[in-house]
């Protein structure tokens, strides 16, 4: 949007010269180099066998433009073409932002495309821990970003409520149940058991519900413990997600892969391709034939599949659904697994290119300058809920997406708890609240203004703000394409900065002319929209007052 007119002018000039090239226009790093710059002459010089500067001269000579929109064109350095916007350019940008109003920033580029985003996918064996926060915030913001560029998005949660983990959960609950019933020495499996405080809570609920009628150690009673545990854990997980504004459309149960025959089909199909063999009583997949380091077990000698097998079946199903884009949000510890799974699915004859894996690195929590241990081993767990209690949902969501997924994030608990200007979330929210306050003031003083066209933009701070706002749609697209919410977080900081500077230098309500006041109010309204829409993409609230 920012460079639409510039691109058109340059494109026409190239056409006139019989040249063919992608016109990339960028914002120069230094304001002294103008408002827009292109390196197209440098790129063309080689194939044309001419010097970049002379190519640039030809292009400039062939440019036909409105001098009110482009006030200067110059060739600089080795062959850059630098342009400066004129008043009409700003007026035009501003008008387009104003006309789009609340829809500004959302595009239709990927309309009619379907995307599936899988995230969280924690098994129901306990409350979410703080480390899950990054996966949740990333996954949900990615889903929001994809929606913003037109995708129809399904949010999916994959879980396993069978298998060894759930047996351990049932046994843990049962042991605590017996202990609470007056047998403190009843054995608790310290190695495999879940030692969290919440197990006791579940056991207490069982006593309230069943009294001591589950005392006998039968499969049926353990099954009751298991079911109770699963329900309790899922309720806990969902309530935490709810607090963060996250809701999934599909909960995919791993167990259905067995009952629907998908698991058996995967084994048969892999076997038909000569990729399966038996060894030491187990069934193996020959991943070495697929270019990986070593072969892996897919069915243990006990007859139980390993997690790999359902993962392969699950990804095959995802591909068969025909979505245009399939996003897996995983922690860095899944890297080996996902490589194996994708290699196996490819070996089954599928094109895995719709699958994009967002691997995020681990989070280190810091408190008072030292790493804060959030041990799962200790009986007392620090949960994601505790973190939300401590710093609030907005800070949790923002902190987990403000850095690129591939960085090893440091979550500074002191900074997060700080309710002041050092906290980067408040800088953005304050800008929004400030704008709301200006409008509240306008209403209070009975200031009438019309958000119509024909406005005046004179001040450099106004120009800087308009230029910033005009980049919102392309920024959202770039963030969506790169599956990188941190791009939006950075951008919003720049918007807030441009607004605060504008606010400081330009009186809005106190402007000395009515048309200037109306322009500035409209500019504030547009900034408000960008901040609100942008914060929404990150799942952070845009408060009217703080």
Strands laid side by side in the 250-253 sheet: 250-253, 152-159, 114-118, 325-331, 355-360
Q: Strand, coil or helix: what is 331?
A: strand
CA torsion, ordered 308, 313, 315, 318, to nearest 10 deg: -160
For residues 295 and 323, which CB has a smaller minimum distance to RNA in the complex?
295
* Token pair in block for residue 528: 């408000």
For residues 47 and 213, which CB has a smaller minimum distance to RNA in the complex?
47
For residues 269 and 497, which CB has a smaller minimum distance to RNA in the complex?
497
Query: Near RNA by CB under 7 A, which window of 6-14, 215-223, 376-384, 414-422?
Result: 414-422
Does residue 422 belong to the site contacting RNA (CB under 7 A)? yes
Query: Near RNA by CB under 7 A, which window of 2-10, 62-70, 173-181, 429-437?
Result: 429-437
**119 vs 142: CA distance, rounded Å:** 10
Q: Which of 103, 204, 247, 279 binds RNA (CB under 7 A)?
A: 279
Q: Which of 18, 20, 22, 29 binds RNA (CB under 7 A)?
A: 29
**229 vs 500: CA distance, rounded Å:** 51
For residues 214 and 534, which CB has a smaller minimum distance to RNA in the complex?
534
Strands 36-38 and 80-85 turn out to be: antiparallel
CB of 453 to RNA, least distance (A): 22
Positions in 101-140 near RNA (CB under 7 A): 123
Q: Which of 42, 88, 200, 290 binds RNA (CB under 7 A)?
A: 42
For residues 99 and 264, which CB has a smaller minimum distance to RNA in the complex?
264
CB of 504 to RNA, least distance (A): 4
What DSSP assignment string belongs to 341-379?
Answer: HHHHHHHTT---TTEEEEEEPPEEEEETTEE----SSSS
CB of 337 to RNA, least distance (A): 5
Q: Which of 72, 288, 408, 452 binds RNA (CB under 7 A)?
A: 408
Does residue 167 belong to the site contacting RNA (CB under 7 A)? no
CB of 78 to RNA, least distance (A): 4
Does residue 215 belong to the site contacting RNA (CB under 7 A)? no
Question: How far from the centroid of its chain's Cα atoms is residue 444's Cα?
Answer: 39
Positions in 281-300 near RNA (CB under 7 A): 281-282, 293-294, 296-297, 300
For residues 207 and 447, which CB has a smaller minimum distance to RNA in the complex?
447
Query: Near RNA by CB under 7 A, which window of 1-9, 199-207, 241-249, 419-427?
Result: 419-427
For residues 203 and 233, which CB has a smaller minimum distance to RNA in the complex?
233
**91 vs 69: CA distance, rounded Å:** 9
For residues 231 and 337, which CB has a smaller minimum distance to RNA in the complex?
337
CB of 207 to RNA, least distance (A): 29
For residues 478 and 536, which CB has a smaller minimum distance to RNA in the complex?
478
* Token pair in block for residue 261: 């025959």
Residue 362 has φ and ψ, to the nearest 5°, of -75, 160
CB of 385 to RNA, least distance (A): 21
Does residue 32 belong to the site contacting RNA (CB under 7 A)? yes
* Token pair in block for residue 524: 């504030």
Closest CA to 3 of 26, 33, 29: 26
CB of 8 to RNA, least distance (A): 19
C-alpha separations of 344 from 25, 68, 301, 313 in Å: 42, 60, 21, 10
CA angle, 524 then 526 then 530, to 5°: 115
CA torsion sign, 360 to 362 to 363 to 369? negative
CB of 490 to RNA, least distance (A): 4
For residues 167 and 378, which CB has a smaller minimum distance to RNA in the complex?
167
**Is residue 201 within a helix (H) or strand (E), and if so which, with residue range?**
helix 197-210
Closest CA to 461 of 433, 493, 500, 489: 500
Does residue 164 belong to the site contacting RNA (CB under 7 A)? yes
Does residue 31 belong to the site contacting RNA (CB under 7 A)? no
Residues 429 and 546: beta-carbon distance below 8 Å: yes
Positions in 489-518 near RNA (CB under 7 A): 490, 493, 496-497, 500-501, 503-510
Q: CB atoms < 10 A from the CB of 209, how many? A: 11
Residue 393's contacts (CB-CB under 8 Å, 6 or more residues apart) are 243, 244, 245
Does residue 37 belong to the site contacting RNA (CB under 7 A)? yes
**Is residue 73 within a helix (H) or strand (E), and if so which, with residue range?**
strand 70-76
Number of residues this chain uses to bind RNA (CB under 7 A): 91
Count helices and strands (H / E) in the chain: 20, 15
CB of 114 to RNA, least distance (A): 27
Positions in 61-80 near RNA (CB under 7 A): 76-78, 80
Does residue 545 belong to the site contacting RNA (CB under 7 A)? yes
Residue 425 has φ and ψ, to the nearest 5°, of -65, -40
Does residue 433 belong to the site contacting RNA (CB under 7 A)? yes
For residues 105 and 177, which CB has a smaller minimum distance to RNA in the complex?
105
Q: Which of 30, 112, 377, 443 binds RNA (CB under 7 A)?
A: 30
C-alpha separations of 354 from 136, 325, 406, 475, 489 in Å: 21, 5, 20, 22, 26
Does residue 304 belong to the site contacting RNA (CB under 7 A)? yes
C-alpha separations of 496 from 410, 415, 503 in Å: 24, 20, 10
Q: Strand, coil or helix: what is 484?
A: coil
Q: Which of 4, 15, 26, 324 binds RNA (CB under 7 A)?
A: 26
**385 vs 128: CA distance, rounded Å:** 8
Positions in 314-373 near RNA (CB under 7 A): 331-337, 339, 359, 361-362
Does residue 178 belong to the site contacting RNA (CB under 7 A)? no
For residues 11 and 392, which CB has a smaller minimum distance to RNA in the complex?
392
């Amino acid at each position: 949007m920012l460079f639409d007119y510039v691109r058109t002018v340059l494109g026409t000039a190239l056409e006139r010269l019989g040249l063919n090239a992608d016109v990339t226009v960028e914002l120069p790093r230094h304001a002294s180099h103008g408002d827009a710059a292109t390196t197209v002459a440098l790129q063309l010089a080689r194939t044309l066998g001419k010097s970049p500067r002379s190519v640039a001269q030809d292009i400039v000579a062939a440019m036909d433009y409105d001098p009110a929109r482009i006030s200067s064109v110059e060739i600089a350095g080795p062959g850059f073409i630098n342009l400066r916007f004129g008043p009409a350019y700003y007026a035009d940008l501003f008008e387009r932002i104003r006309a789009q109003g609340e829809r500004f920033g959302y595009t239709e580029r990927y309309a009619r495309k379907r995307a599936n985003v899988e995230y969280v996918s924690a098994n129901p064996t306990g409350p979410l821990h703080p480390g899950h926060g990054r996966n949740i915030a990333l996954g949900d913001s990615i889903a929001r970003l994809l929606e913003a560029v037109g995708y129809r998005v399904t949010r999916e949660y994959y879980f396993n409520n069978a298998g060894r983990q759930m047996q351990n959960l049932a046994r843990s609950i049962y042991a605590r149940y017996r202990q609470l019933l007056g047998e403190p020495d009843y054995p608790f499996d310290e190695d495999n058991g879940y030692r969290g405080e919440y197990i006791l809570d579940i056991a207490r609920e069982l006593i309230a519900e069943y009294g001591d009628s589950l005392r006998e150690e039968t499969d049926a009673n353990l099954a009751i413990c298991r079911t109770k545990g699963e329900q309790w854990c899922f309720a806990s997980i969902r309530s935490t997600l709810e607090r963060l504004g996250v809701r999934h459309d599909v909960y995919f149960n791993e167990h259905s892969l067995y009952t629907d025959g998908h698991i058996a089909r995967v084994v048969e199909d892999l076997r038909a391709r000569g990729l399966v063999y038996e060894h030491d009583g187990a069934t193996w997949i020959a991943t070495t034939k697929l270019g990986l380091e070593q072969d892996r077990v897919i069915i243990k000698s006990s007859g139980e599949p390993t997690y790999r097998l359902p993962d392969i079946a699950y990804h095959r199903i995802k591909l068969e659904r025909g979505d245009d884009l399939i996003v897996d949000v995983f922690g860095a510890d899944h890297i080996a697994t996902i490589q194996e799974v994708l290699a196996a699915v490819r070996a089954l004859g599928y094109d895995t290119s719709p699958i994009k894996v967002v691997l995020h690195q681990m989070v280190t929590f810091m408190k008072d300058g030292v790493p804060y241990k959030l041990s799962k081993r200790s009986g007392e767990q620090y949960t994601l809920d505790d973190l939300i209690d401590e710093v609030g949902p907005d800070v949790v969501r923002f902190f987990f997406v403000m850095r690129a997924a591939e960085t090893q994030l440091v979550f500074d608990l002191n900074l997060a708890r700080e309710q002041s200007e050092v906290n980067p979330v408040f800088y953005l929210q304050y800008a929004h609240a400030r704008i709301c306050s200006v409008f509240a003031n306008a209403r209070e003083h009975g200031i009438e203004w019309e958000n119509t066209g024909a406005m005046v933009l004179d001040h450099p701070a106004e120009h800087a703000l308009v230029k910033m706002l005009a980049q919102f749609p392309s920024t959202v697209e770039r963030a969506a394409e790169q599956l990188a919410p941190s791009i939006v977080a950075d951008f919003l900081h720049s918007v807030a900065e441009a607004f605060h500077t504008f606010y400081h230098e330009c009186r809005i309500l106190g402007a000395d002319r009515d048309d200037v006041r109306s322009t500035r109010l409209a500019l504030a309204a547009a900034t408000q929209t960008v901040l609100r829409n942008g914060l929404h993409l990150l799942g952070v609230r845009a408060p009217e007052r703080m």
